[in-house]
Amino acid sequence: MDQGVNYQYEYYIKPGLCLNDKAITKLSLEIQNIAFSCFSTLPGYQCMTGAREDLNDKIILLARDQTGKAVAFQSLAILEIPRVGEVLHIGLLCVEPQARRSGIAHQLLYRGLFTYIFRYKHRSSIWITNVSSIFSVLATLSYHCKQLYPSVRLDTPTKKHRRIAEHFSTHSRKLVCIPDSIEFDKEKFIFKEGNRNSVFYNGSKNENATYSRDDIHNEYYKNIINSTDGDAVLQVGHLSAWDSITQCGNFVSKKIKKSIV
């Protein structure tokens, strides 16, 4: 467990393979309680099923408030892709309403990446994937990851970007609740109407309608997807540890300056 500003963070690496039944039940209940505050109907997928096998390939981060209550979680999935190796899927992040706007989402993202890179893989760089219909989520990863497609920084995907995207579309849709019937645009990396009939649809519409920050990353994703139809972007990128450390430092610096003013 690590101590953060106002929160304590717990890490679970492939908990389905190492925790006993009692610990699995406790972790699953805490995850589900947080998710209930974010969804009108609890999605029966990913780390929220309560099943041990659905935690075998996950890295889970829990954030606890000063009372010890779990108020947010990040679920990362480890994918094995032929001719690429391990790829980290950013996965699902849920924060209870009272804990939002505290920077906790960024903290979970940074800590999740650090946990994988330094505690698990001991490597200097990794390949990552992410699927979302929310401009702010897409823009955040675009800002942090220089070799990300699709993004403002990369007009054309490399062969490895394409290989990862094709494998994800073929084998990993269950991770993001997108059925096989949904069309995947292999050039733009977009699941057409991917979230149209899912629990994520209303949430993405509402967040995109109220998110007012105007920058090139947000504008880019506003222009390439139709959020009203529920389009979802598959982001594929190569992230270095140095990029993560630099962006985390910038975020912390901004928070400190804001608290002083």
Within 13 Å of residue 154, how many CA atoms lie on the same side as its CB?
21
Q: In 3D, which of 237, 211, 35, 34 has the Cα closest to residue 134?
A: 211
Average pLDDT rounded to a whole number, residues 86-111: 89
Mean predicted confidence (pLDDT) in 70-81: 96
For residue 236, count other CB atoms closer than 10 A to its CB.
26
Q: Tens digit of pLDDT for each residue in 99-119?
A: 987 788 888 988 888 888 888
- Which has the minimum average pLDDT: 13-22, 98-107, 167-176, 248-257? 248-257
Query: Are the C-beta atoms of residues 63 and 73 closer than 8 Å to each other?
Result: yes
Q: What is the pTM of this model?
A: 0.85
Cα 245 from chain centroid (whole Å): 18
Tokens representing residue 131 in the block: 């699927």
Q: In 3D, which of 75, 36, 63, 38 has the Cα closest to residue 207?
A: 38
More confident residue, 119 or 53: 53
Closest-CA residue to 73 (of 22, 20, 36, 40): 36
Confidence band of 96 (pLDDT split at 50, 70, 90):
very high
pLDDT in tens, 180-233: 999 999 999 999 987 766 655 455 445 554 454 568 988 899 899 887 788 999
| Per-residue pLDDT band at 238 (split at 50, 70, 90) | very high
Task: Place 33 in a pLDDT band, splitting at 50, 70 and 90.
Answer: very high
Kindly report the average pLDDT of the chain as a whole number. Answer: 84
Q: Contact at 8 Å (CB) between 40 and 67?
A: no
- Cα torsion at 245, 75, 138, 189 (round to 10°)? 110
Distance CA 18, CA 138 (A): 33
Residue 256 has pLDDT above 50, yes or no: no
Band the pLDDT of 44: cuts 50, 70, 90: confident
In contact, 241 and 145? CB cutoff 8 Å: no
Residue 129's nearest CA partner among 90, 166, 169, 157 is 90
